[in-house]
Structure 1
Amino acid sequence: MSAVLSAAPAAAAEAVAHFSARLTFETDVSDVHADLHAAAEGLIVVDSRSEESWKQGHIPGAVHLPTDQIAERALGLIRTDATVVTYCWGPGCNGATRAALAFARLGYRVKEMIGGYEYWVREGFTVRTATGLLARPADPLTTPVSAVSCGC
């Protein structure tokens, strides 16, 4: 008996709908990095973590707006015609999901950055800390260490 096939795979049309929907709700750190580097118009990256976490390190150019402050402060900080990308710590945290939901409830177009801050750092991208910019070596378990992107 196959563990993989213990639940039958979806029909192709259902798979297209499912995976297309996921891409409308999610983005990854590599795509966010590329868009920030290219200064993509209308993209706002929001760090939804605490003040302490923000100070520990954050994505350069991100706006700091903790999840519990989005409902009261977002409209004063973030253009309503922007596409908001939320992030939190990483895959073990659903803070970015909660932040994306809060933005959606306010009428924003929003995506969640899967992988969060953890994968941003693990891919070797620059972060801003209290002492300045910092980049760590790329983690070979998450990205090719000798290439700009994984090519996926």
Structure 2
Amino acid sequence: MTSQMITTDNPVLRVPPASPAAAAAYFGASLAFHADVSDVAAVLEGDADPGFVVLDSRSTASWEQGHVPGAVHLPTALIAEQARDLLDPAVPVVTYCWGPGCNGATRAALALAELGYQVKEMLGGFEYWVREGFAFETWEGSERRPSDPLTAPADAEDCGC
């Protein structure tokens, strides 16, 4: 059965899958634009220079509620005016906002790209940073919550993906 012969009563396959070449191009491009929370955390926990800076694009109240340790705070609305003072244009930037239901990190990444920065968006944002059990900072100090077993393995270093 070819992809053109798929029946329309199957909602998953109503629109046929892309060709393998198109899928490889799409998913390869996706990885060029996105970073995984676990990958960002693993690199930041290392001793070496990560080779990128993490940018929190949320409001000051949100930043104080909790943020990734070492992140730069620069709300999206201030990027055009302040990015050059806070970020080295030669260093890639990984943006994040609240979580997957928010496109603030996408808007921040767009604003930075328009200024000439290399940029990726951290999928899952601050929500998944916390849900996966990584340490975060608040206005009161450092915190860490147990990982949510729906987002991270309970008894393993990583998910193996």
Q: CA deviation at 1:83?
A: 0.6
Structure 2-normalised TM-score?
Answer: 0.92
- Over 3 Å off, 4+ runs: none
Match of 2:3 in 1: none
Q: Is the CA contact (8 Å cut-off) linking 1:42 and 1:81 kept in structure 2? A: no
Q: Which string of whole-angstrom CA distances, capped at 9 and with x for unpartnered residues, describes residues 6-59 of structure 1? A: 110000000000000000000110011011112444310000000000000000
Q: Secondary structure at the residue paired with 1:14?
A: helix
The 5 Å alignment of 1:1-152 reads 1-38=9-46, 39-152=48-161
CA distance in structure 2 between the partners assigned to 1:6 and 1:41 by the alignment: 43
Structure 1-normalised TM-score?
Answer: 0.97
Q: CA deviation at 1:147?
A: 1.3
Q: Secondary structure at the residue paired with 1:33?
A: helix
Percent identity over the alignment is 61
Once superposed, what is the RMSD of the aligned Cα atoms?
0.8
CA distance in structure 1 between the partners assigned to 2:75 and 2:52 by the alignment: 18
5+ residue gaps, structure 1: none
CA distance in structure 1 between the partners assigned to 2:115 and 2:73 by the alignment: 17
5+ residue gaps, structure 2: 1-8
Bigger Cα Rg: 2
What is the total number of aligned residue pairs between the two structures?
Answer: 152
